[in-house]
Structure 1
Amino acid sequence: MIMSKLVIAEKPSMGKTIASVLGADKRQDGFCEGNGYVVTWCFGFLSEFSEPEAYDEKYGKWRFDDLPIRPDVWQYTVMRDKKQQLDRIAALANRSDVTELVNACDAGREGERIFRNVYALIHCSKPVSRLWISSMEDEAIRRGFDDLKPGSDYDNLSFAADCRAKADWLVGINATRLFSVLYHRTLNVGRVMSPTLALIVQREAEIDGFKAEPFYTVNLDFGDYRAASEKLKAKETAEEVLRKCEGQAAVVRSVEQKEKTEKAPALYDLTTLQRDANRILGFTAQQTLDYVQALYEKKRCTYPRTDSRYLTDDMVSTVPAIALSASLICNLSIPSPYITGPICNSKKVSDHHAIVPTTGSTKVGLDELPAGELEILKLIARRVLVSLSEAHRYLETTVVMDCGGSTFTAKGKQVLSPGWRQYEKPEDNSSALPDISEGMELPFVDAALKEGKTTPPKRYTEDTLLAAMETAGSKEMPEDAERKGLGTPATRAETLEKLVSTGFVERKKNKKSISLVPSHSGISLVTVLPEQLQSPLLTAEWEYRLKEVERGELSPEQFLDGISDMVATLVQTYQPVLGAEVLFPSGRTVVGKCPRCGSDVTESKKGYFCERNDCRFGLWRDNRFLAGKKINLNKKVVSALLKDGRTFISGIYSERTGKNFDADLLMQDDGNKTSFSFEFKRDGKHEAATGRT
């Protein structure tokens, strides 16, 4: 019997590419086979954490008394449309000729988790090796299989992935149910989503609270250049400066020249690529991730979910080939000379190096790529040429002059060497100042008063929000923390999309860009969330501790115990915000005023309830006393009871006699309980009755 290795890839396209390289060219239903390999694949995650009701049916209803929820033994639910593939993988793994499994899922935290979940679900105990590559090119795959690592080398990475997922479940399930129950509407809460929403809400508050203040400057026009006064608050002062300048020459007081250097920006990691794609192309973060993932699977670029902007030291020899691919993609020349040193630094590379085009990215025509993918590939390629270029050098000149007793400043810029900026918006020397020396008298052509206003902070775009997420809370984190900010490059796009899909954030298009604006419900949610769920420090601290789990410095149990304690404390100590009913209007029909607090009472499926969160007043449709009398508690009846405390009812059923009678229904409420009674029109002819709820 010929022994085989079972290779499990993350997606079908990747599995088929690996099979082709390994010579497993016999196509079967859901796998490929040959040359001592069986290659199959997942469809991303094949399972997910089970919903709370899978642990206990009581969790099917959202109740405060059931919180917090923490599974003792975690359960998984296989997605219905993926069960067939999981069964296929199990059958392949159990074949007698299969002696070993190879984890060929994406080389990262989530890829590790996808494989480990499958391995656990199929109850496999055969040895595992790990394929760890940053490119889907044939040669990279061959080298990876020549250098397979023991699967156990990545146990800690698996623990960190599992901890991250369980922590997100614990916070998401418990916090979402807690705030939804307390505020009577679905409020999705998440450890990355909520502080990201808080950033957007805070920026909107700064904009709303901003008061524009006017300012004035006096500009002297010398024809080829201009000089401006300092900003003046009073228009009268500016007009006086302008008057004194009339007919006067300007005298140069000082001329200062500084040669400045701008180093070329580093290569792209996922976040900087998403930022530029949003700013330059208008793509959302999720669109960019989808495009670059597709390019990776088509062997056009290297692994996308990276937080590094450098190549490893041993890649110096491949830089010329990468540069050639980049120049062909962009139809631009390679910088001459080009510098490899600054872009190769192994100390700044974690799991994966920066995103670059593969050396074989142009072997197949670029015209085969969809427009979005091609634009992203060109962006990546251009950044390679930029990063290999020399620095941009220029001479900055500052001239200070006096005119009419006031000081004016003129600035100019002269490009000495374009360097890396030749690949971006070229700069000319149109802003350069003429030869000016100290003591010169300069007759100006014209003088004018210019009015301006201070401007509020700008709303976030996906570009600027990604930047804010990347640095949020970093000042409070330890200097040696490997991960700072909100989320990771791989999860930030998903977070933004979830904020939009849940209705907490809206995309609003203006002339040049699309802004992210919080909705009313988003602002309301941030208003009632405690500081710990708004603060970026929570998720930044988690990422720091997850890195400790990856390094084996913190056990998974310690990490999850800390999360469970935090959730339990939140449930036990959180107090609803008084008056929050105005933040979360139900939109239900108002039938009257609450007899206890005066707030609106609205109609819902199960009855009529006070809108105020801390008020317990309610009239249930299935009230036993009224149901026994066959009284229909409709909107008309409830409105009258709330307004007058009484209403006339005809055809009331007598449970004692079996006959019907007419009477006034009276409602009394003592602040804790509501009771009902009847008042008869004719004494003695109908039975009296009372009831309490």
Structure 2
Amino acid sequence: MAGDTVYLCEKPSQARDIARILGATHKTKHYLAGSGVTVTWCFGHLLEMAAPDCYGDEYKRWSLDTLPIIPDPWRLDVRPKVKAQYNAIEQLLGKARHVVVATDADREGETIARELLDRCAYRGRISRLWLSALDDASIRKALGRLKDGAETEALYHAGLGRARADWLVGMNLTRAYTAMARSQGHDRLLPVGRVQTPTLRLVVDRDRAIESFKPVPYWDLVATLATDAGETFDAQWQPPADMTDAKGRCLNEEAARRMAQQIEGDAARVTAAETTRKRASAPLPYDLGTLQQDANKTADMGAQAVLSTVQALYETHKAVTYPRTDCRYLPTSMQGEADAVLDAMARTDPRVAGAVEGANTSRQARVFNDGKITAHHAMIPTTEPADLGRMSDTERLIYRMIRTRYLAQFYPDHEYDRTVLALDMGGAAFRATGNGVVVAGWKAVTGHAGADEADQAGNARLPIVREGDRCPVQGAAVQAKQTQPPAHYTEGTLLAAMKNVASLVTDERLKKILKDTAGLGTEATRAGIISTLIERRFLAQKKKKLVATDGGRALIDMLPRAITNPDTTAVWEQALDEISAGRMTLDDFVTRQTQWIHKAVSQVQQHGLNVPQGIATGPQKQCPECDKPMRKRKSRHGAFWGCTGYPDCRATVQIGGGKKGRQKKQAT
């Protein structure tokens, strides 16, 4: 009953949503069929990169002598657990005349579908269903606007580039460093990842900067002044440059206390009073990274938990648009849908009806900007109401965060007056600042979400004073303070650092190459990278802080900077973007990666490895025959020490007892 047109989806739930709109109601174990159409699904990647030993028996043993491993041609194998689904798709593609790629509209989604089409040698017509949401209205709209397959094929090439670069780095360098460490008696896997390793380096560097930080004491002098009307306000001393640091902080305690005594009972003269009207636009809607950062900060949610939650809002509840986006803007055409989105929000939760009523959907907000759109637009609510009662507490929390950001776009700017007073006390300069809200604007619906200058300053409105007014001193206090070290990373701030790694680059040459958007990983992968580092015990969570473990530090210390440096991976990520845009070929990218891997492996082979003690997993033992380090091994008879010189030396020593079959070194 399969039709000529096959829709290839990423997962079963997605397939059911699309099949319902297409009228494909005949259900089988592997697909849904209707008149002329078949909707089938993957379970993520049905294919996986082949392991090194699939390219030759010599790669079954981890040895420096066999590196680097450079597949040619590259091989993909069917994952054993999904063999039946793959076979069904292969049969469907063999009969299809038209395939509609309906996987997630991103690089990985494109790769999941296209690698199947290539393996099954499909040569028919290809179209692309580009979905931004899974509610019925969005699916119908996308079905009416199918893209030609050629428009998105470059995303597949970028996906292959990412997968091959990850394989080349991971397989070759993990083997190289692990094999070298084992030759020195250290029995621990030393994983090296294209994104994972430089991410770990960020945390190690931050931890060490905190530990090496030496606080510098400084002193603030704050005078409390009064007006003729009896109001009081605070003014801060502006010390001369010869007793301050680069940030204007007073480093001379004696001078600060002497000034405090000097102004007691004096009066300050207002030498300048300036009030400026400030405007703050509403914070833009969320992309995935910003949502993860805010949820971590305000609700202590981990990055992976946020991703899982918002994915459920997208797939299960149909409450929000595509979540794995890196964009915070909306196409100008979507302003016409604003009334429908707001109406769905009010029907979902009647408590926001008043705020919806106050929104001005004709307002020309900065969020509507076609020039800022990437593969996706910002994450917003859909045009169909959702059922809050079916959501978990965390799902409701994340939905409300997304909803509030969207609603804020249709409210006026937040306006406040910023007043700066310059004062003189016996030739000493003082300064007072204050803010006063004029128009609440978008803060009427968000509170203080998206801090602006008024929030950051934390100053209340100043009393009205004029130039020339005298304000008696009511008191003066010297506050002893210290400079503070940088803060430990949290999941939220580490995500931000990964996303904006270009801002951390100090190499001037690389600064010219990297775009401001260059980062480590993608919106969809960063949470998983952090989770992997924690699972492998290279990072640890201490309350809200992320810190590097001893093993994490030792791994970074052992590896060359070229491998741990975030700059290198950021350049690679930028190159993948160039492939996606059609400005670089896959072959060119992989050739560069291959050349880099040759150099990295050669460095290990020629110069060896200094394995720090933090890598060791336990006490080390020397071989009784050749004095080389021994490594713990297991057999059916139990654990034993085996010589790392094997097979040249076959000496073994039973753990917890006598010798186990010690054999003398044999010639080869």
Q: Normalization by structure 1: what TM-score?
A: 0.83
Amino acid at match of 1:588: P
| Cα pair distance change 1:53/1:501, threshold 3 Å | same
What is the distance in 2 between the residues matched to 1:506 and 1:594?
A: 40
Q: Determine the structure 2 residue equivalent to 1:389.
A: 411
Deviates more, 1:41-50 or 1:474-483: 474-483
Q: Determine the structure 2 residue equivalent to 1:228.
A: 236
Q: Deviations over 1:363-409 (max 9, x none)?
A: x4211112222211111110001223222211111222233653322
- CA shift at 1:430, angstroms? 7.8
Among residues 523, 547, 551, which one is paired with 1:521 in the alignment? 551
The alignment partner of 2:442 has SS state of helix
Q: Determine the structure 2 residue equivalent to 1:274.
A: 292
Asked if the contact 1:270–1:306 (Cα under 8 Å) also holds between the matched residues in 2, the reply is yes
The alignment partner of 2:97 has SS state of strand
Asked if the contact 1:220–1:445 (Cα under 8 Å) also holds between the matched residues in 2, the reply is yes
Matches within 5 A, 1:160-559: 160-184=158-182, 185-222=188-225, 224-230=232-238, 231-297=249-315, 298-326=317-345, 331-332=351-352, 333-334=355-356, 335-338=358-361, 339-360=363-384, 362=385, 364-403=386-425, 406-425=428-447, 431-473=460-502, 476-477=510-511, 481=515, 484-509=518-543, 514-559=544-589
Pair 1:580 & 2:611 matched: yes
Q: Deviations over 1:20-54 (max 9, x none)?
A: 11111122223212232211111111121111112
What is the distance in 2 between the residues matched to 1:517 and 1:248?
A: 51
Q: Determine the structure 2 residue equivalent to 1:57.
A: 57
Q: Tell me which of the two structures has the higher relative contact order, counting C-alpha pairs closer than 8 angstroms and 6 or more residues apart.
A: 2
What is the distance in 2 between the residues matched to 1:126 and 1:48?
A: 24
- CA shift at 1:354, angstroms? 1.1
Amino acid at match of 1:377: Y
Amino acid at match of 1:414: G
Amino acid at match of 2:196: M
- CA shift at 1:275, angstroms? 1.4
Q: How many residues align?
A: 623
Q: Determine the structure 1 residue equivalent to 2:598.
A: 568
| Cα pair distance change 1:373/1:590, threshold 3 Å | same
Q: Determine the structure 1 residue equivalent to 2:98.
A: 100
What is the distance in 2 between the residues matched to 1:469 and 1:235?
A: 40
Deviates more, 1:385-394 or 1:374-383: 385-394
- CA shift at 1:127, angstroms? 2.9
Q: Determine the structure 1 residue equivalent to 2:637.
A: none
| Cα pair distance change 1:576/1:265, threshold 3 Å | farther
What is the distance in 2 between the residues matched to 1:431 and 1:634?
A: 71
Amino acid at match of 2:524: A
Q: Deviations over 1:189-224 (max 9, x none)?
A: 111111111111111111011011222222223464
Amino acid at match of 1:342: R
What is the distance in 2 between the residues matched to 1:336 and 1:119?
A: 47
What is the distance in 1 between the residues matched to 2:620 and 2:564?
A: 33
- CA shift at 1:567, angstroms? 0.2
| Cα pair distance change 1:194/1:22, threshold 3 Å | same
Deviates more, 1:162-171 or 1:179-188: 179-188
Q: Determine the structure 2 residue equivalent to 1:683.
A: none
Matches within 5 A, 1:65-76: 65-76=65-76
What is the distance in 2 between the residues matched to 1:376 and 1:4?
A: 41
What is the distance in 2 between the residues matched to 1:256 and 1:482?
A: 35
| Cα pair distance change 1:23/1:557, threshold 3 Å | same
- CA shift at 1:274, angstroms? 1.5
Asked if the contact 1:396–1:411 (Cα under 8 Å) also holds between the matched residues in 2, the reply is yes
Deviates more, 1:402-411 or 1:553-562: 402-411
Deviates more, 1:162-171 or 1:443-452: 443-452
| Cα pair distance change 1:132/1:434, threshold 3 Å | same
- CA shift at 1:565, angstroms? 0.6
- CA shift at 1:113, angstroms? 0.8
Pair 1:154 & 2:152 matched: yes
Q: Report sequence identity in percent.
A: 34
- CA shift at 1:560, angstroms? 0.6
Structure 1 gap segments, 5+ residues each: 611-615, 639-651, 654-673, 677-690
Asked if the contact 1:528–1:577 (Cα under 8 Å) also holds between the matched residues in 2, the reply is no
What is the distance in 2 between the residues matched to 1:383 and 1:92?
A: 43
Asked if the contact 2:107–2:155 (Cα under 8 Å) also holds between the matched residues in 1, the reply is yes
Q: Determine the structure 2 residue equivalent to 1:659.
A: none
Q: Deviations over 1:590-611 (max 9, x none)?
A: 5799998xxx96663397689x
Asked if the contact 1:394–1:417 (Cα under 8 Å) also holds between the matched residues in 2, the reply is yes
The alignment partner of 1:443 has SS state of strand
Q: Determine the structure 2 residue equivalent to 1:139.
A: 137
Q: Determine the structure 1 residue equivalent to 2:228.
A: none
Q: Determine the structure 2 residue equivalent to 1:657.
A: none
Deviates more, 1:580-589 or 1:494-503: 580-589
What is the distance in 1 between the residues matched to 2:648 and 2:133?
A: 63
Matches within 5 A, 1:99-138: 99-138=97-136
- CA shift at 1:4, angstroms? 3.4
- CA shift at 1:325, angstroms? 3.2
Asked if the contact 1:221–1:227 (Cα under 8 Å) also holds between the matched residues in 2, the reply is yes
Amino acid at match of 1:415: V
Among residues 622, 628, 631, which one is paired with 2:650 in the alignment? 622
Asked if the contact 2:500–2:517 (Cα under 8 Å) also holds between the matched residues in 1, the reply is no
What is the distance in 1 between the residues matched to 2:2 and 2:173?
A: 54
Asked if the contact 2:5–2:98 (Cα under 8 Å) also holds between the matched residues in 1, the reply is yes
Amino acid at match of 1:203: R
Amino acid at match of 1:384: Y
Bigger-Rg structure (1/2): 1
Structure 2 gap segments, 5+ residues each: 183-187, 226-230, 239-248, 449-453, 635-639
Asked if the contact 2:128–2:149 (Cα under 8 Å) also holds between the matched residues in 1, the reply is yes
Pair 1:34 & 2:54 matched: no
Deviates more, 1:395-404 or 1:161-170: 395-404
- CA shift at 1:291, angstroms? 1.4
| Cα pair distance change 1:592/1:227, threshold 3 Å | farther
What is the distance in 1 between the residues matched to 2:490 and 2:3?
A: 55
Q: Deviations over 1:616-650 (max 9, x none)?
A: 98998734xxx9xxxx7888989xxxxxxxxxxxx
- CA shift at 1:65, angstroms? 0.8
